[in-house]
Amino acid sequence: MSADTAEFQRRRRLWMRRAVPFLALFFAAGITGAATGHFEYAFYAGLGCFVGWSWFTWRLYRCPRCNKIPGADGEIALNPRHCSHCGVQLRADTSA
C-alpha cells in the first residue's frame, strides 16, 4: 500500500467516525422538534449540524496528493479506487 493510499484511508476512516455524531445530532434535532412542537429550534439545530458536517467534509476528505475532494461534477466519491483529478490510487487493490 502506497503512502498516498494509506493517508487517504486514514482520513476516510476519521471522516466516517466524525460523520456519525453529526448525523445522530441531525436526526435527534428532527425528532425533538417533532416531539415538542418547536420546529424552528430543530431546524436551526439540524442546519447547524449539516453546516458543521459539510465544513468537516470539505476540510478533511481530500486526496493526499492533489488536495482535491475525490469525485466528479460536484459529487463526493465515498470510497474511490483512484482520485478523479490526479489519478493517484486511493484504495488498495485486493483482487491480486
Q: Where are the domains of the chain?
A: 1-96
Q: Is the pLDDT of residue 5 over 80?
A: yes
Q: Is the pLDDT of residue 96 over 70?
A: no
User: Per 3-state DSSP, what percentage of the chain is helix, strand, and coil (rounded to 5)?
Assistant: 60, 0, 40
Q: How confident is the model at residue 66 (pLDDT cuts 50, 70, 90)?
A: very high
So what's the pLDDT on residue 95?
59
Q: What are phi and psi of 82, to 5 degrees?
A: -135, 155
Q: Does the model's pTM come out above 0.85?
A: no
Q: Which residue has the higher pLDDT, 95 or 77?
A: 77
What distance in Å separates the CA atoms of residue 59 and residue 18, rounded to the nearest whole number?
12
